[in-house]
Structure 1
Amino acid sequence: MGLRRKKHWGGQAAGPGREGSAWAVELRGVRRQYGRGDRAVHALRGIDLALPRGSFTAVMGPSGSGKSTFLQCAAGLDRPTEGTVRLGGTDITGMSENKLTALRRTRLGFVFQAFNLLPSLTVEQNVLLPMRLAGHRPDRRKAADVLARVGLGDKGRRRPGQLSGGQQQRVAIARALVTDPDVVFADEPTGALDTTTAAEVLGLLRGAVDTMGATVVMVTHDPNAAAYADRTLFLADGAIVDRLERAPAARIAERLTALTAPAPAAAYTEAAAA
């Protein structure tokens, strides 16, 4: 899985990318508009962001702030109206759908609230699915390794329906990590779990960053989940308006509550914070 990579903030290199980039995720001037004229919806209003490899970032904001659109554009699931997106040093903005699909299968991992496991496949087969879809020979030893890392080394032959919700999310995490992706995108990964199980899953994501050099970008509404991250970014009206570094849940909750206050938040940029 690779050794832990040293992390840096403030623009210093965090390790070589597949194309020489220190950044796992870069969004430059990203805007996303739906519709035109008076009915236009500006979901993203100029996102400038660079996240280093080997980091854990949480993204929060009020309903309608642009969190889902941010995740979709960053992961190549949606195309920005303006701006560029780079993943692991690769500019994906103008990629064809075929190339984007291939990139997502080999260089990105996804963890969703609903697990999205195939019930007819075994746990091992679910974990190996990204390799199969990419046309690569399934590596059963790799699957066994990641399943052991998430505490399911003895569950490879079971079906998802035979596992608890927390165990199914562990399988989803193993599936996301099996290709050593540039980035793991997690969308409300603990939304369907109880508090204790959620903490276990978040601990696994934190461990993937700390011990495997993974990069995690997680959208969440839960300050307790965001507290596991290295930084929390706050979105409002399609813009990044604030961030906190290694903050406790109470402080994150306080900042999130402030975003719902009537007073408009000033636009925040990474450059202004440097």
Structure 2
Amino acid sequence: MRLRKGKRRQADDRAGADLRPQPPAGPPGLAVELRGVRRQYGRGAGTVHALAGVDLALPRGTFTAVMGPSGSGKSTFLQCAAGLDRPSAGSVRLGGTEITGMKENELTELRRSRLGFVFQAFNLLPSLTVEQNVLLPMRLAGRRQDRGRAAEVLAQVGLADKARRRPGELSGGQQQRVAVARALVTDPDVIFADEPTGALDTGTAAEVLGLLRHAVDTLGATVVMVTHDPAAAAWADRVLFLADGAFADHLERGTAEQIAARMTALTGRTRAMAGAGTGAGVAA
């Protein structure tokens, strides 16, 4: 993937100066940087503090899993980090570009050209072929649809012979492989994965997670994955644990058993605080 950075940046230059990466204000080589990010909904007594001041710096070429009890702010974190939702306060930088103050059309272009997404529900268009689904981010970004690049990423996910098929002709695991190929096709700064194995059986989930791990180790990708599954999180370099809208713990290269134990302890502490009346209202 890194060998194609020049081509992507040339395309970004043609798209306009607004999308050109600016020199990062923080440490170099960061793919994701959040500083003092807060997100609240509502006002007064009904205010929900979904994120309560998140600070995070993720280097390029890393695989990070984010976990937390129900209502801890995982989904809100992913949405703010990926530019799908705007924080109430704080700063978000992706690939060195400050996105917090971007206009909506600028954010849309950035998401299409420089971010990849993998969702639990696959989100493939049933009327399009596998190849057309993979090329969709290029099409939406107004870029030339590179069929050679589509063939390359489909081969990387083991679907070189499925380009002419439609999603309905594939298994759930194969459809998620298509989604991974679609996320890789633009050589993005970051791939955001939201419960990517939630709809898959254990064996198929391991195959998909292996693809994300391979993308990091071999292709230089950066992956940020929200998951509730300790076995899935164990594929990551680092697991971050959210509680009440803030990061409360982390674990480097943990096993599924170690991650599950941390989650159990964190959930117990969160329930105890809520029972004592000290827990703040948060969103999922």
TM-score, structure 2 normalization: 0.87
- In the alignment, is residue 76 of structure 1 matched against residue 83 of structure 2? yes
C-alpha offsets along residues 2-24 of structure 1, whole Å, 9 cap, x if unaligned?
26xxxxxxxxxxxxx94444100
- 2:180 matched residue in structure 1: 173
Q: Partner residue of 2:116? A: 109
Q: CA RMSD in A?
A: 1.5
Structure 2 unaligned regions, length at least 5? 4-19, 275-284
Determine whether 1:212 maps to 2:219: yes
Choose which of 101, 122, 127 in structure 2 pairs with 1:120: 127
Give SS of 1:261's match: helix
1:260 deviates by: 1.3
Quick check: 1:228 aligned with 2:235?
A: yes
Q: Does 1:160 align with 2:150?
A: no
What secondary structure sits across from 1:243 in the alignment? Answer: strand
Query: Which runs of 4 or more aligned residues in structure 1 lie more than 6 Å from their structure 2 counterparts after TM superposition?
Result: none
Residue 52 of structure 2 corresponds to residue 45 of structure 1: yes
CA offset at residue 256 of structure 1? 0.4
Distance 2:71 2:170 in 1: 34
CA distance in 2, matches of 1:250, 1:100: 39
Q: Does 1:59 align with 2:59?
A: no
Equivalents in 2 of 1:171, 1:75: separation in Å? Answer: 21
1:192 to 171, 194, 199: 199
In 2, Cα distance between equivalents of 1:191 and 1:159: 22
> What is the rounded CA distance, in whole Å, between the counterparts of 1:206 and 1:233 in structure 2?
17
In 1, the alpha carbon distance for the partners of 2:263 and 2:273 equals: 13
Q: Secondary structure at the match of 2:2?
A: coil
**Count of paired positions:** 253
Q: Percent identity?
A: 80
The aligned counterpart of 1:88 is 95
In structure 1, distance between residues paired with 2:22 and 2:58:
15
For residue 117 of structure 1, give the secondary structure of its aligned residue in structure 2: coil
Stretches of structure 1 that go unaligned for 5 or more consecutive residues are 4-16, 266-274
Choose the corresponding residue for 2:147, options 129, 140, 146: 140
Structure 1 counterpart of 2:172, which letter? Answer: G
Q: Distance in 2 between matches of 1:165 and 1:19?
A: 39
Amino acid at match of 2:54: I
Closer, same or farther in 2 for the Cα pair 1:219/1:252, shift >3 Å? same
Quote the Cα distance in structure 2 between the aligned partners of 1:2 and 1:40.
Answer: 44
AA matched with 2:127: S
Q: What amino acid sits opposite 1:169 in the alignment?
A: Q
TM-score (norm 1): 0.90
For 1:250, which of 237, 245, 257 is the aligned residue?
Answer: 257
SS at match of 1:185: strand
The aligned runs of 1:6-21 (5 Å cut-off) are 18-20=21-23, 21=28
CA deviation map 1:145-197 (0-9, x unaligned) = 00000000110000000000000000000000000000000000000000000
1:264 is displaced (CA, Å) by 4.8
The C-alpha deviation readout for 1:28-56, integer Å capped at 9, x for no partner, is: 00000000100000000000000000000
What is the alpha-carbon distance in structure 2 between the residues aligned to residue 150 and residue 133 of structure 1? Answer: 22
Residues 17-32 of structure 1 mapped to structure 2, 5 A cutoff: 18-20=21-23, 21-32=28-39
